[in-house]
A and B are shown apart, each in its own frame.
Chain A
Amino acid sequence: MQVVQNHQGGGYARKSMTNNKSTWGSAASGQVQNAAVITFAQASGDWASGANLGYWAIFDNSTGGNMIAYGTVTTPKPVLNGDTPSIAISACTITLT
């Protein structure tokens, strides 16, 4: 999972997640949610120059790769130096299309 803006620097790196039912649970009603907390590395600088982060995406590789899913965040907010971005269990909902 990564920021769509493809932010570089500030300690940003895509977060690797195994795709199984422990991490994504079971699909229901055409949707799947994360079954584990998704925690990114602590920011060592401002991400996206301190701009609010409003979008997300999942790729099938740690760099480049194919976009598997994408969307928006409910409340855009910045990730500043020292912050630890996190997505709580069931806070990421993906509609299967």
Chain B
Amino acid sequence: MATKFYLPSTGSTDIDPAWSASWYGTTEMSPSKLAAVTTKISSADATKTLTDADLTDRHYCAGMWVSARLAAQTIAAQTIGISIKCSEDNAKNNMFLHGIIRVVQIDGVTYRGTLLSFFEDNTEFPLTASRASRYYSATSSALVVYAGDRIVIELGPGGDPQTGGGSHNSDMIIGDNNGSDLDAADADTTGDPWVNFANTLTFYTAGTVNFECTGATASATPTLSKLDRTRSFALGGCAGTATPTILKLNRTRPFIFGGCSASSTAVISILTRAKQFVLGTCNATSSVVMTKIDRVAAIVASGCDAVSTAILDQLDIVAGGLKQFVFGGV
């Protein structure tokens, strides 16, 4: 099963891929960036005309057609055929069908790769009075494409006119309202132009996108409060924790708060009747605030290098009798 794109004369695409740099000119024929369709939209025939008096080998873009979004797939190497009506106004013009077919990424700007490199057909255009199809086919390159990519087709005339009457004067007919397709051959005079991929292309269809996720919990802001008569409590390994907060630990036997390097603010408050309180290894913690620590038998704060602000407030040594207070290494 093949995929055939028609080349309408109307219907813009919603992205703006760059023209191929292989063209000599991309303005002379006023080319448009249009949607390539797999179902005809009955756009009227339009003649894309090139007029100049130049006698050098040049090629000009007549139009760009961009497909709908593709599904992720490998586009295999395959035969791509192109049939479009063309003509020149003088046999000395030496004009031939040119083109390039590429794939642009979902951003509409970055090209994924090239399916058909810039090519030149080898059958000269017929004269205007006998305008007819020119058919070109070649084997494409394989390409892995991703969801949302699109095919970009650019076609146009080009040639090296002879002196004594030659020029690039030529035209191509686009549109898709003729009721039939041009033959896959030269010299057909009736039908719509097309680009055919020998294989079936799969287009993106919106649906359910299933994800599988793995990860771990993040200790953004652990808050501990109202732990009553805990026999042993240790908070550690909270490096990078934003704001560890420990409140109202009542009668905890030993309380150890350590390994919280680079915590932005450590708040320890209302520790009542703890047997021993150890604050340690909180390097680079910006602020350590300890308040209302009542009747704690021993406080040891050490290993707190580079702590910017250490505040110890309302340590009640009267009621419970603080037996030992060591705050060092700050």
Enumerate chain A interface residues (CB-CB to B < 8 A): 43, 46, 49-51, 53, 56-57, 66-75, 77-88, 91-97
Q: Report A-chain residues with C-beta under 8 Å of the C-beta of B210.
A: 86-88, 91
B39 sits at the interface (CB 8 A): no
B216 touches A70 (CB 8 A): yes
B69 sits at the interface (CB 8 A): yes
A80 touches B148 (CB 8 A): yes
Enumerate chain B interface residues (CB-CB to A < 8 A): 69, 106-107, 146-148, 204, 206-221, 242
Complex Cα gap A88–B220 (Å): 27
- Considering residues B147, B207, B209, B219, which has the most beta carbons from chain A within 10 angstroms of its beta carbon? B209
Q: Report B-chain residues with C-beta under 8 Å of the C-beta of A74.
A: 211-214
Complex Cα gap A58–B292 (Å): 34
- CB A37 to nearest CB in B, in angstroms, measures 10
| Chain A interface helix/strand/loop/mixed | strand
B69 touches A49 (CB 8 A): no
A95 touches B211 (CB 8 A): no
A-B contact pairs, 15 of them (CB 8 A): A46-B106, A56-B213, A66-B242, A68-B218, A69-B217, A71-B215, A72-B213, A73-B211, A73-B212, A74-B213, A82-B207, A84-B206, A88-B212, A91-B213, A94-B214
Complex Cα gap A51–B107 (Å): 9
A85 touches B209 (CB 8 A): yes
Complex Cα gap A51–B146 (Å): 10
CB < 8 Å neighbour of A71 from B106, B107, B213, B220: B213
- CB A11 to nearest CB in B, in angstroms, measures 12
Closest to B218 in A: A67
Q: Report A-chain residues with C-beta under 8 Å of the C-beta of B211.
A: 53, 56, 73-75, 77, 85-87, 91
Complex Cα gap A79–B208 (Å): 9
- CB B224 to nearest CB in A, in angstroms, measures 15
